[in-house]
Amino acid sequence: MGEKVEAEVRGLADRRQYRRKLHMCLAGLERLLDEERFDRPRNLMGLEIELNLVGSDGLPRMRNAQVLERIASTDFQTELGMFNLEVNIAPHRLTGRVLDRLAEELRTGLAYADRKAGEVSAGIVMIGILPTLDQEDLVSANLSAGDRYTLLNDQMRAARGEDFTLDIDGVERLIGTSSSIAPEAACTSVQLHLQVTPERFPDVWNSAQALAAVQVAIGANSPFLFGRELWRESRPPLFQQSTDTRPEELRAQGVRPRTWFGERWIESAYDLFEENLRYFPPLLPICDPEDPLAVLDAGGVPKLSELVLHNGTVYRWNRPVYDVRDGRPHLRVENRVLPAGPTVTDVMANTAFYYGAIRALAEDARHLWARLPFEAAAANFETACRHGIDAELEWPRRGRHGGTVRMPAVTLVLEELLPLAAAGLDAWGVEPVDRDHYLGVIEERCRRGVNGASWQADTFHHALDSGLDRRTALAATTRRYAELMRTDAPVHTWPIGVPAPALPGR
């Protein structure tokens, strides 16, 4: 949703014209695929991280405009909430010491942004959901300045026709309503991009769908919302409910939500774009003057603007991306399942695991998705979100006997997926020192059974047991998290608990 749009758009209500343009774009995509016009493989990866602005008290700060003005870099952009920022790392070739280079770029960029945020009494925190967010923080008045946010909020509210309902039943239960999409801003994530050829796209996307549950299980970092302890990774249910344009009657009819895991394995990238048109009404019917078919007839490459914009309002956890760079179209798989944080080292470990495992799974002749029912992959994803690193997942049985078996996610990672991830990183040409360092973080996380979500929950309960009330315990947990995040020590090494307050006179 990085498209810049104007709040007052002529023809905004002309959905018939927009729908016609969408189908022209889809036909243009089909021609591009048939004519093999896409860019050659470049083994390019990209990384985006959404961030929170937090004060020294652990509470959110609604100051992204002031912080961005001071950062003065196009690498940093606004996100939905005024307490959000996003950092974008330029694409890198997936080879050599790329993981360490990315880690150093992130450390440098985040440290600079943190210093600039400090000039307005805020700091940068990478976390899936900020534990100290309150319902009063997530209101339309705290949406970032920008026409695209206002327009998206207005269109989603109009499509739903009533308040958005939040109902997440986890360790505790949260029930509430919102008159805007602002609760979506609580969800801050890491987005991993991989440019792939059309031929490889379905294998990579299918592999990413199967792997999503494992990523969440070992990387969960969002156990709290509005003072309640919910799922270990509460972003997916929150995101789905805060963007759900379906009133109760449409949900009962089986209409699909805009935040969607999917319902089948695919055979082409075309399948996903076609589903987006077939199942989801346009939210932002803004027409571009380009005639994509005429551009193709003239030998050019169309932007497919309407298709790209519509695709940005369907929130798949693994999203297809069409883009044009240097006059050549390309396709990417955008992996959106991971929460932000806890540290740069943890983010890079999650990144190494994903890119290594995806390479190995996509190239495995015994296709994982041919042995795992899609329904099982979707159920695994919910289980992982609920239980995090303690989740048990259904997975194809090794050997020739076929079928599936349930096993702890950590066992699956240690015994099967880490060796695959290592082989995948080798195939990319990643240096062994990077491979071993970052996959070693995942290994230790699994052996100790500790990730960001478990650390947050254990530290919160430790604070409660020490006599703090709930709000004070959440704030203390957040402050301690921010302190340890800045050490860049991986989260499985963090001590549980918050420091005792200093006694008077000491």
| Per-residue pLDDT, 152 | 87
Helices (H), 364-502: 368-371, 374-387, 409-412, 418-428, 432-448, 452-465, 470-485
pLDDT at 8: 43
pLDDT of residue 372: 97
Confidence (pLDDT) at 142: 92
pLDDT number for residue 502: 52
Handedness of CA 317, 323, 326, 328 (dihedral sign): positive
Q: Are 463 and 476 in contact (CB under 8 A)?
A: yes
| Residues in CB range of 35: below 8 A, 6 or more apart | none
Tell me the whole-structure pTM to 2 decimals. Answer: 0.95
Say how far apart CA 219 and CA 256 lie, in whole Å: 27
340 — alpha (psi -120 to 50), left (phi > 0) or beta?
beta
User: In angstroms, what CA-CA distances link 329 with 28, 198, 289, 359?
Assistant: 12, 11, 19, 22
CB 155 within 8 A of CB 284: yes
pLDDT of residue 146: 78
* Digitized pLDDT (tens) for each residue of the chain, 506 residues in all: 444 454 444 455 578 889 999 999 999 999 999 999 998 878 889 999 999 999 999 999 999 999 999 999 999 999 999 999 999 998 999 999 999 999 999 999 999 999 999 999 999 999 999 999 999 999 999 998 877 788 889 989 998 999 999 999 999 999 999 999 999 999 999 999 999 999 999 999 999 999 999 999 999 999 999 999 999 999 999 999 999 999 889 999 999 999 999 999 999 999 999 999 999 999 888 889 999 999 999 999 999 999 999 999 999 999 999 999 989 999 999 999 999 999 999 999 999 999 999 999 999 999 999 999 999 999 999 999 999 999 999 999 987 678 999 999 999 999 999 999 999 999 999 999 999 999 999 999 999 999 999 999 999 999 999 999 999 999 999 999 999 999 999 999 999 999 876 545 54
CA end-to-end distance (rounded Å), the chain: 51
pLDDT score at 10 = 46
Amino acid of residue 70: R
Which value, in Å, is the radius of gyration of the alpha carbons in the chain?
22
SS3 call for 229: strand
